[in-house]
């Protein structure tokens, strides 16, 4: 860029200095355009992320529930509703966690007793013991 602006008469550059002079202005303009687009897109992206976080917080405040039937179980949360027959439902208890496997162990839910009101956890556990199968906990073996 400096080659176009240097007043060196001994370097008889001719049209090359003109190309460097005007090319450098175009190059600087292009850099400013890229910087403007970068910061503009960055601000828009952060606004979109904040909107999605707010939407997720609103969805999180909606009610989730479990419906127990004689032939099936339904788990509904703000994002989806899953209904499964008892034959394809399995559960296991690991420490204080109840792991509910639905649809041939493809969908898992993890519950703790603290998430439920009053005796709802015991009702769910009783239903699971009556209608679904309990999985055995595999303990790792050392070889």
Whether 45 and 38 have beta carbons less than 8 Å apart is answered as no
Q: How many domains does the chain have?
A: 2
Q: Report the CATH number that the domain containing residue 86 is assigned in CATH.
A: 2.40.50
In a domain, 113, yes or no: yes
pLDDT score at 76: 86
* Claim to verify: residue 51 and residue 82 sit in the same structural domain: no
- Ranges under pLDDT 70 in the chain: 1-14, 16-17, 59-62, 137-143
Adjacent-strand bridge partners of 74: 67, 83
Q: Which residues contact 92 (CB under 8 A, 6 or more apart)?
A: 98, 99, 101, 134, 135, 136, 137
Q: Which domain holds residue 96?
A: 65-134
* pLDDT, tens only, 35-66: 999 999 999 999 999 998 888 777 666 677 88
* Claim to verify: residue 72 and residue 86 sit in the same structural domain: yes
Q: Could you give the CA distance from residue 91 to residue 45 in angstroms, rounded to a whole number?
A: 41
């Amino acid at each position: 860029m400096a080659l176009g602006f240097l007043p060196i008469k001994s370097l008889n550059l001719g049209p090359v200095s003109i190309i460097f002079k005007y090319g450098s202005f175009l190059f600087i303009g292009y850099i400013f355009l890229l910087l403007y687009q970068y910061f503009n897109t960055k601000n828009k992206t952060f606004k979109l992320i904040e909107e999605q976080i707010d939407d997720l917080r609103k969805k999180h405040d909606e009610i989730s529930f479990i419906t127990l039937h004689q032939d099936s179980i339904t788990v509904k949360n703000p994002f989806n509703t899953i209904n499964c027959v008892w034959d394809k439902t399995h559960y296991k208890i690991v420490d204080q966690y109840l792991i509910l496997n639905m649809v041939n162990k493809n969908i898992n839910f993890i519950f703790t007793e603290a998430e439920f009101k009053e005796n709802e956890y015991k009702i769910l556990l009783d239903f699971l013991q009556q209608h679904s199968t309990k999985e055995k906990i595999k303990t790792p073996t050392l070889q």
